[in-house]
Structure 1
């Protein structure tokens, strides 16, 4: 009896999964600061690349999944010969300000039968900002020193929507245009001009002038998603 129940349960799950499918894709996004973030970093642009994986529930206008994003919102390179006491060689300092994000995604599709597919979307997760530096004699030589200047993370959410347009030539492929508003907790982070090197202080020290603000952005994105991507 137990084996029969388990067999029926397995067949039911297998049939259900067969009738449902996954959607996978990628986006290029641009984030424009608003509200408190605009006051803190008015002209800083936040570009990111993201990958998204969604699961569409059978016969329901609901999709759920995960989106992971990464971008560099500022980079600076300078050549100095006063980084190490007793050495007068030139060293390159490359500093990148990095932005990563992981969000659970929930979508509602008002119409599933029209050629153009609109959707509204809520995302909940976290943002992680960190600034890394690398020091090397030239771009072609090994790194002498590397590390993180600053890092911070905070809870975040996004609210928005978009529309999907069928792509000819790609089976199940759709062009996706999307806009959302992002907000969350306060974060401490650096931008391109917030780090200075003071060679006359001690043996040489870096001076930081961090910003503190929620990561409030209007995100505009364009991407491609493929329905039933793993069939």
Structure 2
């Protein structure tokens, strides 16, 4: 069992100093745990190289956004500047959590400007959504109706599930009508859900016809 803290706050010991054991709050706030950075002299919690968090974050950004990368993708300068201006604790947290940072590294590794299609291929819509939003906000990527993209992907999946060309054509025509119906507006979550429900209902009807040996072209009303 870990020894209790001696700082008076209780809880788990996060740091040990000459004068006792300290909780996490004390470690983050007590002056005895801070030292001047060897590079910029900012007083902070230092790492093994005796660098403050701001210098460590700056080094991470310099390693990703090199001069050659920014020549290939000048728009990424906005991302670098945004992260450089952010709280260094945030940058270090993004790096530590991994997923978003790895995505940024993949984007930086491209030899041309990143596109929405690139992001689509780098992960699931949910896993790339935060980075995508950042790139759109910084005008690295143009805005895109993500709900419409999701509905289109669902339509492709439903089309692929239909074995007969006539049925595929019928569903494709319905999907085009859906798009025309929504052309003047940006999809909301509820609108996208409704469109997916309609597509699934029609696809289910077509598959039911197939089970009975019919297609949309050969089926008859009774």
The answer, yes or no, to whether TM exceeds 0.5 is no
Q: Which bracket does the TM-score occupy, shorter chain normalised? A: under 0.3
Which has a greater percent of strand? 1
Between 1 and 2, higher relative CO (CA 8 Å, sep ≥ 6) is seen in 1
With structure 2 as the length reference, what TM-score do the two structures score? Answer: 0.23
Which has a greater percent of helix? 2
